[in-house]
Amino acid sequence: MELLIAQGRSIQEVNESYSKVSEAYETVQTKHDLLVSEIEDEEEFLRKEQWMEECQENFIKITLTQKDYCNQRESNIETHAPDSRIAENNSPGPAVGTPMVNIPGQVLDSSAQPGLPLPVPGSNAPQLVSSLYGIPKPSLPMFSGGREKDFAMLKMALDSLIGVHPSLTEQYKYQVLLGRLGGNARKLAESFMHESTPYSSAIQALMEKYGQPRQLVQSELGRIMQTPVIKFSDYDGFENFALTVNSLVGMLKSLEGENGFELKCGSHVDRLISKLPPSYRDRFVEFCITNKILEPNSDKTYNLIHLAEWLQVKARALRISHQASDLYRENTQPRMARSKNQPSTSSYLVREKPKAYCPYCNETNHFLGGCQEFRKFSTDEIIQWIQSDKRCWRCGRKHNPEKCTLKRPCNNCSDLHLTILHDAIQKGVGKPTPSVNMYINKDRRPHNVMLKIVPVRLHGPNGCLDTYAVLDDGSMRTIILDEAVNKLDLTGVSDEIHLTTVRQEPTQCIGRTLSFEISAAEQPNKRYQIQGAFTSPLLRLSDYSYPIQSLQSRWAHLRGLKLPDVYNARPLILIGSDNANLILPQEPVILGPSGSPAAVRTKLGWTLQGPSSLVKARNESCNFITTAQNNQLMRDVQRLWQVDVHSAQLEKN
């Protein structure tokens, strides 16, 4: 391309050469991403990354050269040949109604697809790009890794560049789609090659697998939660966090609109702001109160749109204040006088390479993954080495895992830890398991207040399971215990939540997110889908026992209702407000006198809620202890008082 520019060739020839360079760069970048994902040696990984950065810098220089040349040629055409465009339009060639169609990756004329009626200039005219003026051609992104965000970008590009041309056939669009897919996504699309509408069918199948808003949110939140906590003075980290959240909000708006369920979910915001410093969390809450997003006696709460708006304003304010403070420090620094004979030097910004360090042998010429002595260790020996010195299970150094700054994920599971420590972490050297389980509701408490407990049936790949469910209006997330997950053989993706109570600090709980079906015990054939439920081996639920017959005998408003028997019930699932359709009343609540429980009918059956005077909190006893008086002691004390009083009277007289 540089040779063509030096020879003064036409804009079209230069653009064609630039397109080939762009395609070659895209191919190199794709192969580089696949190559580095298999590299375990950190030194080799850094060398490959540095080489790719050099390629990127060269490609940027080529792009700038191409744009400058095209702009200069265009200005020359406008200055010296003002009638050239008119002459060009009058010259023989493609008619006005048959311009070149901007299909990503190539330019088509009327001969590219015989018999295809090209669009008439009008509504689609802005989409037609002429290479004569040096405007770069857009290209569709590749989708091969299974990441929901990448599919959202591909879907948006397809709708913008191909969906605006209704005259394109299904087969043609299907071939374009296949060219931008790889891996399992391509295999899925290839299964529709014999359909009458292969493109529409393939897009629909890909949307069901990769384009669900819930999957996109969980995937992106998982990646964000794996990053280190943002420090107060980390302006670049905060701006990157703000841009990531804003990108997520934009994609959700394109998928489900302004009023989508995932955009309005407040629990997503709670997870995201846990990565911010405490002072920033307080300022976000102040922002919500000032703008009347949070109001007293209201069920309104903040959502992702509010968080993205506040992050953008905050990032802009931090950037302006940081630039002003840097400028002030630069102006106030004393200037050092330089000798006349001292030669001037030029400085260049270079990227500092990470310094190698091995925490096992304390050498600075290699990383832990490249230590030959450490590679000889078995998994049990690695576990013993980490636990004996209380080392970080992420990188092996002597610091707290919560303060670890490791940013490169494992090549096997994509979690933030060294690849060489993967087997040890999977075997149990990871985050220490607490010696006690975390009860979602307090264990062994007096059940003088009844929660909504219903018998249910859970459905999974391994059959059904009859158990009890707690219907909790105050929980933001549905939780299923690990015992039910194992019996039903349920699978899911890695996730983590922060359990919070009124008096305790948030407790991080690592587990999985999964989906299953549930039905009432009396109507097992009528199933309801539960998506995004959380499970962890650390979670437990208390046992419950309600005297149903005694309650119905005492309270007239409970008689005749099909209330379930609850005796030593061990619930295996807690259904929260994320499945409100299952826990809200389906008919008016039956209330009784003060101090009596209310009867509620949900989709899962009848249940009780409220106080019960029949269930005693605990037996109370009052003990009185007395002892016999010592008569001799009382007489001695009496004599002592008499002597003191008599002496006082004598002194007075």
Q: What pLDDT does residue 444 have?
A: 45
Tokens of 74: 């265009």
For residues 166 and 257, membership in a common domain is answered with no
Report mean pLDDT in 10-residue bins for the chain, 653 residues.
72 82 81 73 74 78 78 65 43 41 40 39 40 60 81 84 81 87 87 88 87 77 78 79 84 77 80 83 85 80 86 82 60 48 46 71 83 84 82 84 78 79 74 48 58 92 91 89 89 80 65 91 90 86 84 86 86 91 90 88 91 56 53 76 66 59
> For the chain, how many structural domains are there in total?
5
For residues 104 and 65, membership in a common domain is answered with yes
For residues 151 and 180, membership in a common domain is answered with yes
Half-sphere exposure of 423 (CA within 13 A, CB side): 8
Tokens of 594: 């003060």
User: Please, are residues 287 and 301 in contact by the beta-carbon 8 Å criterion?
Assistant: no
Q: What pLDDT does residue 502 have?
A: 54
271, 304, 324: which is the final residue of a domain?
A: 324
Q: How far is it, in rounded angstroms, from Cα 431 to Cα 425? A: 8
Answer yes or no: is 573 within a domain.
Answer: yes
For residues 461 and 600, membership in a common domain is answered with yes
Answer yes or no: is 577 within a domain.
Answer: yes
What is the CA angle 37-406-379, rounded to 5?
A: 75
Q: What pLDDT does residue 414 have?
A: 67
DSSP per-residue letters across 52-112: HHHHHHHHHHHHHHHHHHHHHHHHHHHHH-TTHHHHHHHSSSS-TTS--EEETTEEE-TTS
For residues 446 and 560, membership in a common domain is answered with yes
Domain that holds residue 94: 1-117+125-139
Answer yes or no: is 560 within a domain.
Answer: yes
Answer yes or no: is 646 within a domain.
Answer: no
For residues 443 and 409, membership in a common domain is answered with no
Q: What pLDDT does residue 26 have?
A: 80
Q: Can you give the pTM of this predicted structure?
A: 0.34
User: Please, are residues 252 and 212 in contact by the beta-carbon 8 Å criterion?
Assistant: no
Q: How far is it, in rounded angstroms, from Cα 14 to Cα 98? A: 23
Q: Can you name the residues that pair with 468 across neighbouring β-strands?
A: 455, 571
Answer yes or no: is 354 within a domain.
Answer: no
Q: How far is it, in rounded angstroms, from Cα 206 to Cα 603? A: 33
Answer yes or no: is 498 within a domain.
Answer: yes
For residues 414 and 466, membership in a common domain is answered with no
Q: What pLDDT does residue 353 have?
A: 55
Q: Between helices 183-190 and 170-179, what is the axis angle to 10°?
A: 160
Q: What pLDDT does residue 128 have?
A: 40
For residues 194 and 242, membership in a common domain is answered with no
User: Please, are residues 137 and 104 in contact by the beta-carbon 8 Å criterion?
Assistant: yes
Q: Map residue 598 onto helix, strand or coil.
A: strand
Q: How far is it, in rounded angstroms, from Cα 168 to Cα 113? A: 10
For residues 300 and 383, membership in a common domain is answered with no
Q: What pLDDT does residue 82 have?
A: 44
Q: What pLDDT does residue 57 have?
A: 75
211, 241, 270: which is the final residue of a domain?
A: 211
168, 188, 211: which is the final residue of a domain?
A: 211
For residues 149 and 134, membership in a common domain is answered with no
Tokens of 371: 């230590």
CATH number at residue 551: 2.40.70.10
Residue 476 backbone phi and psi in degrees, to 5: -85, -10
Q: What pLDDT does residue 432 have?
A: 47
Answer yes or no: is 331 within a domain.
Answer: no
For residues 28 and 113, membership in a common domain is answered with yes
Burial of 102 (0-12, 13-18, 19+ CB in 10 A): buried
Task: Single out the residue of 494, 474, 470 nearest to residue 417, CA to CA.
Answer: 494
For residues 207 and 218, membership in a common domain is answered with no
Answer yes or no: is 298 within a domain.
Answer: yes
